[in-house]
């Protein structure tokens, strides 16, 4: 940047015109290129650790590829066709969506409510705020073991409680919906607190005078929440919803651990009750089929699905947020 300040003081005389030109050009490049250079480490790293694997996976998915014996012949889209023809893939996709819906949606809503409560003037605020983060610190394996005990089919706590109130025991591992509920519980247990804190941080950044204005206008607590709080934290909401969508669609640990009978390469219930797309991907590539080609095809299909869902989410969240139109409308009416 030093060069820039020097430039105007240079006398515009005689010969070294070209050299000044050079300097000028350098200066211009400096201005134009340097910022990109400064942020380039991230993108270089991303290209190596993110983009390259992504593209490499695409290459793998177009070949017959065994994990152990390596690259085979080019087969075009055959792996994709094979995968799409396997009922197990569709089962995995169904399970993934179901677990995603049962976990992410309630999770974000609950997080929003808890954050609103924590944002109020509570006694021992820090205690409550740190409290919601505690489950997030618990290792997924530990969570799975705890919930495994709770949701055991015969000796589990949940079925013991249900039978006390006269409900017949639920087959937590054999019933499709029940298994999804149990797994969604594990996910929510871990992630609700994390999302709560992110949303809470956004809520605290809302200037107080907006609330004061709303109160003067006679807005109730509920009205404040919907017409001021939510529109004001829109960017954060989009962030939370999109990250938990991605996380929800890539769910692996919890359902794998939930199957106590099988190892990671075979888990997911005797009838595929809770096999998810990422589990299916792992089982194809790293199970004894060692079919990395099909596994890569599943990875790309999942990528496309996540992309599509994220776009829908983005559009949807923007709609919610255009509720901020309500604020604008309200202001217009006033003036």
Partner 1 sequence: MHKSRTVWAAAAGLTGIALAVTGCSTGSSSNSASTASSGGKVTLKVQTFNEFGYADLFTEYMKDHPNVTIVSDKAAKSDDARASVKNSIATSTVTDDIVAADVDWMPELLKSSDFFADVKTTDNAKRWPDWKMAQATDASGKLIGLGTDSGPQGVCYRKDLFQKAGLPTDRAQVATLLGGSSATWDQYFATGQKFMAANTGAAWFDSLGALAQVANNQQAEPFESKSDDSITVAKSDSNASKVFTMLTSHTDQSAHLAQWTDDWTKAFASDKFATVMCPAWMTQIIAGDAPDQKNWDIADVLPGGSSNWGGSFLLVPAKGKNVTEAKALADWLTAPAQAAKVFVKFGNFPSQTDAVKDATVTAKTDTYFNNAPTGQIFSNRFSAVSKQPYRGSHYFDINDQFGKALTRVDVDKTDNAAASWQKFLDAVKQLG
Q: Which positions touch partner 1 (CB under 8 A)?
A: 67-70, 82, 86-88, 148-149, 152-156, 171, 173-174, 260-266, 269-271, 286-291, 294
Closest distance of CB 71 from partner 1, Å: 11
Taking the least distance from each CB to partner 1, the nearer of 181 and 206 is 181
Taking the least distance from each CB to partner 1, the nearer of 30 and 82 is 82
Closest distance of CB 44 from partner 1, Å: 23
CB-CB contact of 326 with 243 (8 Å): no
Closest distance of CB 171 from partner 1, Å: 7
Taking the least distance from each CB to partner 1, the nearer of 261 and 335 is 261
Taking the least distance from each CB to partner 1, the nearer of 30 and 153 is 153
Closest distance of CB 312 from partner 1, Å: 31
> How many helices (H) and strands (E) are present in the chain, helices listed first?
18, 2
Cα(332)–Cα(184) distance, rounded to whole angstroms?
44
Closest distance of CB 303 from partner 1, Å: 22
Number of Cβ within a 10 Å radius of residue 65: 23
| CA trace torsion 99, 104, 105, 108 (10° rounding) | 160
Taking the least distance from each CB to partner 1, the nearer of 149 and 318 is 149
The b/e string for 196-231 (b: 16+ C-beta within 10 A; e otherwise) is: bbbbbebbeeeeeeeeebbeeeebeeeebbebbbbb
Cα(329)–Cα(306) distance, rounded to whole angstroms?
35
């Amino acid at each position: 940047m030093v060069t820039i300040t020097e430039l105007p003081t240079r006398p515009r005389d005689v010969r070294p015109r070209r050299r000044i030109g050079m300097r000028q050009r350098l200066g211009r490049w400096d201005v134009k290129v340097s910022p990109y250079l400064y942020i380039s480490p991230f993108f270089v790293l991303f290209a190596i650790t993110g983009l390259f694997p992504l593209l490499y996976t695409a290459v793998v998915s177009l070949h017959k590829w065994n994990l152990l014996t390596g690259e085979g012949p080019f087969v075009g889209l055959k792996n994709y066709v094979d995968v799409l023809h396997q009922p197990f893939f569709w089962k995995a996709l169904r399970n993934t969506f179901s677990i995603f819906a049962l976990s992410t949606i309630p999770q974000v809503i609950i997080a929003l409510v808890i954050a609103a409560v924590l944002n109020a003037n509570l006694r021992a605020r820090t205690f409550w705020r740190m409290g919601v983060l505690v489950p997030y610190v618990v290792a997924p394996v530990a969570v799975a073991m705890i919930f495994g005990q709770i949701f055991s089919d015969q000796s589990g706590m949940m079925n013991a409680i249900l039978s006390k109130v006269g409900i017949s025991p639920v087959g937590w591992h054999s019933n499709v919906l029940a298994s999804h509920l149990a797994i969604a519980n594990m996910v929510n247990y871990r992630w609700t607190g994390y999302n709560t804190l992110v949303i809470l941080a956004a809520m605290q950044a809302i200037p107080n005078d907006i609330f004061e204005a709303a109160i003067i206008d006679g807005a109730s607590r509920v009205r404040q929440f919907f017409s001021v709080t939510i529109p004001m934290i829109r960017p954060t909401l989009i962030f939370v919803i999109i990250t938990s969508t991605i996380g929800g669609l890539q769910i692996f640990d919890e359902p794998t651990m939930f199957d106590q009978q099988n190892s990671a390469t075979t888990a997911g219930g005797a009838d595929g009750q809770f096999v998810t797309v990422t589990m299916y991907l792992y089982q194809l590539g790293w199970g004894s089929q060692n079919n990395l080609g099909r596994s890569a095809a599943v990875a790309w299909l999942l990528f496309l699905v996540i992309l599509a869902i994220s776009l829908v989410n983005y559009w949807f969240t923007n709609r919610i947020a255009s509720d901020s139109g309500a604020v604008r409308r309200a202001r217009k009416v006033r003036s």
